């Protein structure tokens, strides 16, 4: 598929797209994209909200009684104060006379009402994003297209699973089963080997785990990028988009892992700093189609403006996924422990298979949640720092192809 404007970093906007200024926001004096003749995004119409001249002022003489009002005519006696003229019944106490407030009763039509009140079309100026509600953001998919709250990031991650379970839970199940089957045989050989052979099996297990996990992560990030615009991908479509990027994504994961590990070896704080600063590298690598080092640089550019908030959301997401996986694994740990005891303290196939089943179920649920939080945090940072929400809203309205190749 061909690229469409959306996820490319600001410096890579296609030439046939209007120049909207730094980071996708229109510069002062420029028209917002797609709304010719309208003021820049977020600016009201000229004179919008201002009352017409003389609005709210009564006409001359309004409220003043006519000359001689209340005085008896010559030859007539003045009726008692507050009494109706002879031959007329007195209206109910506190009731306005008939026709009060109607045109011709002394008040101009619509007096006290704002211009256009109750008329169709009264609301935000034409071209203002949000449509039906003033200041509301469009929500074509799992999140509103505006900077997100923490709750919206978490909810969007779960909504992605509900919206497209086949491409989220289905892909996760496929990859996690493959990982656990390979790991099952390698673990059995590792437990029954010693020395250098056990080390090689453990190393092979970790390499395969990294490669398959990052491939799954890339597929899930692609699925989420389309779910943001209300589009669903099949598992085959998601994998086809990510397949050419899997070697680079594996290299990125390995490089980030080494940097973070070195940070933790030196001290706890450098390790945490490296982990947060590089946390958005994978979404940048998949969605922006940049290289390994450029994706790491992009991650730092997006994180540095809001480091502590990114850290807090990552920790909260990690805690949620950790609790979910612990709760799922508890009965399998108990069953594996019983099998271990029954076998006389030998780690056999029974215990390993039970543990693998628990890991499959927990990983199938936990992986989409974890990938969703990271991907939506990336989207949120770009909407806050670069005005990506405007570009995504245009892409959603156009209804074109995917945002990645």
The predicted structure's pLDDT at residue 2? 38
Count of other CB atoms within 10 angstroms of residue 109: 8
Q: In whole angstroms, what is the distance from residue 277 CA to residue 255 CA? A: 13
| 10-residue stretch averages of pLDDT, the chain, 405 residues long | 53 44 34 42 47 56 55 51 51 49 47 44 40 64 93 95 93 91 78 72 78 88 93 92 92 90 87 93 94 95 92 95 95 90 77 90 94 95 92 78 41
By the 10 Å C-beta count (0-12 exposed, 13-18 middle, 19+ buried), 116 is classed as: exposed
What are the backbone angles phi and psi of residue 135, rounded to the nearest 5°?
85, -5
Q: In whole angstroms, what is the distance from residue 310 CA to residue 380 CA? A: 10
**What are the structure tokens assigned to 207, written together?**
């390499």
Q: In whole angstroms, what is the distance from residue 122 CA to residue 47 CA? A: 14
| Rounded (5°) CA angle 372-146-36 | 135
**What are the structure tokens assigned to 228, written together?**
């943001």
Query: What is residue 35's DSSP assignment?
Result: -
The predicted structure's pLDDT at residue 283? 95
Q: Give kind and range of the element (H or E) at residue 321.
A: helix 307-342
Measured CA to CA in angstroms, residue 357 lies from 227, 252, 350, 369, 399 at distances of: 29, 29, 11, 19, 41
Q: Which of 275, 279, 304, 272 is nearest to 384 (CA)?
A: 304
The predicted structure's pLDDT at residue 189? 73
Let me know how long the chain is: 405
Hey, CA dihedral for 98, 103, 105, 108, is it positive or negative? positive
The predicted structure's pLDDT at residue 11? 57
By the 10 Å C-beta count (0-12 exposed, 13-18 middle, 19+ buried), 36 is classed as: exposed
């Amino acid at each position: 598929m061909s690229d469409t404007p959306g996820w490319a970093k600001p410096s890579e906007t296609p030439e046939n797209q209007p120049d909207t200024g730094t980071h996708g926001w229109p510069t002062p004096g420029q028209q917002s994209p797609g709304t010719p003749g309208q003021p820049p995004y977020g600016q009201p119409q000229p004179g919008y909200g201002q009352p017409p001249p003389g609005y709210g002022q009564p006409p001359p003489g309004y409220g003043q009684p006519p000359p001689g009002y209340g005085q008896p005519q010559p030859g007539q006696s003045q009726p008692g104060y507050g009494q109706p003229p002879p031959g007329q019944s007195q209206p109910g106490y506190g009731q306005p006379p008939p026709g009060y407030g109607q045109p011709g009763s002394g008040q101009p039509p619509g007096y006290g009402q704002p211009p256009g009140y109750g008329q169709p079309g009264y609301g935000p100026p034409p071209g203002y994003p949000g449509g039906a509600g003033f200041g509301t953001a469009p929500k074509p998919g799992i999140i509103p297209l505006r900077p997100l709250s923490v709750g919206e990031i978490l909810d969007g991650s779960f909504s992605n699973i509900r919206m497209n379970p086949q491409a989220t839970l289905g892909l996760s199940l496929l990859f996690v089963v493959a990982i656990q089957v390979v790991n099952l045989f390698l673990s059995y050989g590792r437990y029954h080997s010693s020395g250098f052979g056990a080390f090689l099996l453990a190393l092979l297990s970790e390499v395969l785990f990294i490669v398959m996990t990052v491939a799954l992560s890339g597929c899930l990030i692609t699925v989420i990028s389309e779910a943001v615009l209300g589009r669903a991908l099949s598992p085959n479509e998601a994998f086809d988009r990510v397949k050419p990027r899997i070697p680079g994504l594996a290299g990125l994961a390995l490089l980030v892992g080494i940097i973070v590990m070195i940070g933790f070896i030196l001290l706890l704080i450098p390790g945490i700093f490296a982990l947060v600063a590089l946390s958005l590298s994978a979404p940048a690598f998949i969605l922006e189609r940049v290289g390994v080092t450029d994706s790491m640089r992009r991650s730092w550019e997006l994180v540095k403006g809001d480091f502590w908030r990114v850290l807090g959301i990552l920790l909260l997401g990690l805690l949620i996924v950790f609790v979910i996986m612990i709760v799922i694994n508890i009965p399998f740990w108990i069953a594996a422990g019983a099998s271990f005891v029954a076998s006389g303290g030998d780690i056999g196939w029974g215990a390993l298979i039970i543990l693998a089943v628990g890991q499959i179920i927990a990983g199938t649920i936990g992986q989409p949640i974890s990938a969703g939080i990271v991907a939506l945090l990336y989207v949120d940072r770009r909407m806050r720092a670069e005005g990506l929400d405007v570009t995504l809203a245009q892409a959603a309205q156009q209804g074109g192809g995917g945002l990645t190749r």
